[in-house]
């Protein structure tokens, strides 16, 4: 029962890690990447739809993205969604495709992006700690119901803490990597 609880905690913690990586992939670095805009929500027939489902996204040059909508009528709504986003990019529409030119990041913009990364890292750490808290609560219920002994409870709590520490360390590693990527000129 304890092993199942710890396995479940690990699965939930890993999903928090994956969500963080997905989130950080959308934060702009010095070079163009389709992941920058592919999860951008576009209002399509009254429904928010990820851009990746409405258009193909390519990188023709290191500092530009080319968005080719599958349906030409969506060109305007995609353009509006890009302008409304917090990417700080101006789309160039030629009637068939949208070009996004990524200007070089200024030192100030890099620092702002690093602050955003730190906020996302903290959210992920909180998510991991919440999983730990919930699992410890479950373990205490097991102990209260006499399903496990008090010693088993303390061993399980120690094991959960080690798992939490390992996950937080991974989160910090991901954050350090992203910070270096952003600060790289």
DSSP string, 128-161: HHHHHHHHHHHHHHHHHTTSS-HHHHHHHHHHHH
Which helix (H) or strand (E) segment holds residue 56: the answer is strand 55-61
Three-state secondary structure along 91-118? EEECCCCEEEECCCCCHHHHHHHHHHHH
pLDDT of residue 86: 75
Which position has the token pair 């100030």?
Answer: 108
What is the structure's pLDDT at 136? Answer: 93
Look-up of token digits 């917090």: 86
Q: Cα–Cα distance between 113 and 118 in angstroms, integer? A: 9
pTM, rounded to two decimals: 0.73
Cβ–Cβ under 8 Å, residues 53 and 45? no
What CA–CA distance (Å, rounded) separates 93 from 86? 19
pLDDT score recorded for residue 133: 95
Please list the pLDDT of the chain residue by residue as tens digits (185 residues).
888 989 999 999 999 999 998 888 877 676 778 888 888 899 988 899 999 999 999 999 888 899 999 998 899 999 999 888 877 788 999 889 999 988 887 888 888 888 889 999 999 999 999 999 999 999 999 989 988 899 999 999 999 999 999 999 999 999 999 999 888 86
């Amino acid at each position: 029962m304890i092993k199942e609880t710890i396995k479940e905690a690990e699965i939930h913690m890993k999903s928090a890690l994956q969500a963080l990586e997905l989130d950080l992939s959308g934060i702009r670095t010095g070079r163009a990447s389709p992941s920058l805009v592919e999860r951008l929500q576009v209002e399509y027939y009254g429904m928010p739809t990820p851009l990746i489902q409405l258009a193909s996204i390519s990188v023709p040059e290191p500092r530009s993205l080319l968005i080719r909508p599958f349906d030409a009528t969506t060109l305007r709504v995609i353009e509006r969604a890009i302008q409304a986003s917090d990417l700080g990019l101006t789309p160039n529409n030629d009637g068939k495709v949208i070009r996004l030119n990524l200007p070089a990041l200024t030192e100030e913009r890099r620092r702002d992006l690093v602050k955003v990364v730190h906020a996302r890292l903290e959210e992920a750490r909180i998510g991991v700690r919440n999983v730990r808290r919930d699992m410890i609560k479950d373990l205490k219920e097991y102990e209260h119901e006499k399903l496990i002994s008090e010693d088993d409870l303390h061993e399980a709590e120690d094991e959960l803490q080690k798992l939490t520490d390992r996950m937080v360390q991974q989160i910090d590693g991901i954050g350090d990597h992203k910070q270096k990527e952003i600060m790289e000129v």
